Chains A and B, each alone.
Chain A
Amino acid sequence: MPVNYYIYFCLALFSIGVVGVLTRRNAIIIFMCIELMLNAVNLLLVAFSKMHHGAAAAGATVPSTVGADGQIFVFFIMVVAAAEVSVGLAIIVMMYRNIHSVDVNFLNRLKN
Chain B
Amino acid sequence: MNAIIFSAVWGVVMMFGGLIAKNKTTVTYLAIAGLLVLTGVNLLHSCGSWVIKVDTHETLHFDSMGLYFNTIAFVSTLLYVLLSGKDIERAGVHVAEYYALIFFVLCGVSILTSFNGLLMLFLGIEIMSIPLYILTGADKKNLKSNEASLKYFLMGSFSTGIMLMGIALIYGATGNFGINIGPNSAAGTGLGFRPSFLEVGGLLLLFVAMSFKVSAAPFHFWTPDVYDGAPSVFTSFMATIVKSAGFYAFIKLMDVRTAILGDSWLIVLPLVIFSTLLIGNITAVFQQSVKRMLAYSSIAQAGFMLFALYGTSVMSKEGLILYAFSYSIATIGLFAILIRLKDYSLDGFNGLAAQHPMVAFSAAVFLLSLAGIPLTAGFFAKYYMLAAAVKAGGILWLVIAAVLLAAVSVYYYFRVIQSMYFKTGTPEWTSPAGKSFAWTLLLLAALLIYAGLFPTAVLKFIYF
A73 proximity list for chain B (CB < 8 A): 119, 167, 171, 177
Does B407 count as interface, using CB distance less than 8 angstroms? no
CB of A52 within 8 A of CB of B175, answer yes
CB of A70 within 8 A of CB of B126, answer no
B192 proximity list for chain A (CB < 8 A): 2, 4
Q: Which residue of A lies closest to B198 (CB)?
A: A7
Q: Which of B137, B158, B168, B171 has most A Cβ within 10 Å?
A: B168
Cα A51 to Cα B188 with chains together (Å): 10
B172 proximity list for chain A (CB < 8 A): 7, 44, 48, 51
Does B157 count as interface, using CB distance less than 8 angstroms? yes
Does B24 count as interface, using CB distance less than 8 angstroms? no
Does A12 count as interface, using CB distance less than 8 angstroms? no
CB of A48 within 8 A of CB of B143, answer no
| A19-55 interface code vs B (CB 8 A; 1 in, 0 out) | 0010000010011001001101100110011011011
Q: Which of A2, A10, A48 has most B Cβ within 10 Å?
A: A48
B157, chain A: closest CB distance, angstroms:
5
Does B256 count as interface, using CB distance less than 8 angstroms? no
CB of A34 within 8 A of CB of B158, answer yes
A5, chain B: closest CB distance, angstroms:
10
Does A107 count as interface, using CB distance less than 8 angstroms? yes
Cα A67 to Cα B228 with chains together (Å): 45
Partner of A34, one of B143, B161, B168: B161
Q: Which of B153-169 contact A (CB under 8 A)?
A: 153-154, 157-158, 160-162, 164-165, 167-169
B150 proximity list for chain A (CB < 8 A): 27, 91-92, 95, 104, 107
| A89-107 interface code vs B (CB 8 A; 1 in, 0 out) | 0111011001100001011
CB of A3 within 8 A of CB of B154, answer no
B268 proximity list for chain A (CB < 8 A): none
Partner of B130, one of A70, A83, A99, A109: A83
CB of B157 within 8 A of CB of A34, answer yes
B147 proximity list for chain A (CB < 8 A): 95, 106-107, 109-110
CB of B154 within 8 A of CB of A110, answer no
CB of A87 within 8 A of CB of B161, answer no
Cα A104 to Cα B162 with chains together (Å): 21
Given A70-B171, A91-B133, verify A98-B146 contact (CB < 8 Å). yes
Does B71 count as interface, using CB distance less than 8 angstroms? no
Partner of A4, one of B141, B146, B191: B191
Partner of A3, one of B133, B161, B191, B225: B191
Does B148 count as interface, using CB distance less than 8 angstroms? yes
Cα A84 to Cα B155 with chains together (Å): 12
B169 proximity list for chain A (CB < 8 A): 44
Cα A73 to Cα B166 with chains together (Å): 13
Cα A49 to Cα B174 with chains together (Å): 11
Cα A51 to Cα B186 with chains together (Å): 9
Partner of A31, one of B154, B167, B189: B154
CB of B225 within 8 A of CB of A27, answer no
Cα A54 to Cα B191 with chains together (Å): 12
B187 proximity list for chain A (CB < 8 A): 55
| B121-154 interface code vs A (CB 8 A; 1 in, 0 out) | 0110010001001100100110110111111011
Does B229 count as interface, using CB distance less than 8 angstroms? yes
B167, chain A: closest CB distance, angstroms:
8
CB of B176 within 8 A of CB of A51, answer no
Does B190 count as interface, using CB distance less than 8 angstroms? yes
A67, chain B: closest CB distance, angstroms:
8
A2 proximity list for chain B (CB < 8 A): 190, 192
A38 proximity list for chain B (CB < 8 A): 160-161, 164
Given A34-B161, A37-B165, A73-B119, verify A94-B137 contact (CB < 8 Å). yes
Given A45-B168, A45-B171, A77-B164, verify A87-B130 contact (CB < 8 Å). yes
A107 proximity list for chain B (CB < 8 A): 147, 150-151
CB of A94 within 8 A of CB of B140, answer yes
CB of A37 within 8 A of CB of B133, answer no
CB of B165 within 8 A of CB of A41, answer yes
CB of B143 within 8 A of CB of A98, answer yes
CB of A48 within 8 A of CB of B133, answer no
Cα A92 to Cα B187 with chains together (Å): 46
B141, chain A: closest CB distance, angstroms:
7
A90 proximity list for chain B (CB < 8 A): 134
B153 proximity list for chain A (CB < 8 A): 87-88, 91
Q: Which of B143, B151, B161 has most A Cβ within 10 Å?
A: B161
Partner of A27, one of B154, B161, B185: B154
Cα A70 to Cα B133 with chains together (Å): 28
Does A62 count as interface, using CB distance less than 8 angstroms? no
CB of B165 within 8 A of CB of A14, answer yes
By a beta-carbon cutoff of 8 Å, the part of chain B in contact with chain A is: 119, 122-123, 126, 130, 133-134, 137, 140-141, 143-144, 146-151, 153-154, 157-158, 160-162, 164-165, 167-169, 171-172, 175-177, 185-192, 224-225, 228-229
> Apart from A18-B161, A45-B168, what 17 extra A-B contacts exist at CB < 8 Å?
A2-B190, A3-B191, A27-B150, A34-B157, A37-B164, A41-B164, A44-B168, A48-B171, A51-B172, A51-B189, A73-B171, A77-B122, A80-B123, A88-B133, A91-B133, A98-B141, A106-B147
- Can you pick out 8 interface pairs between chain A and chain B where the beta carbons lie within 8 Å of each other? A21-B154, A27-B154, A30-B154, A44-B168, A52-B186, A52-B189, A80-B123, A99-B146
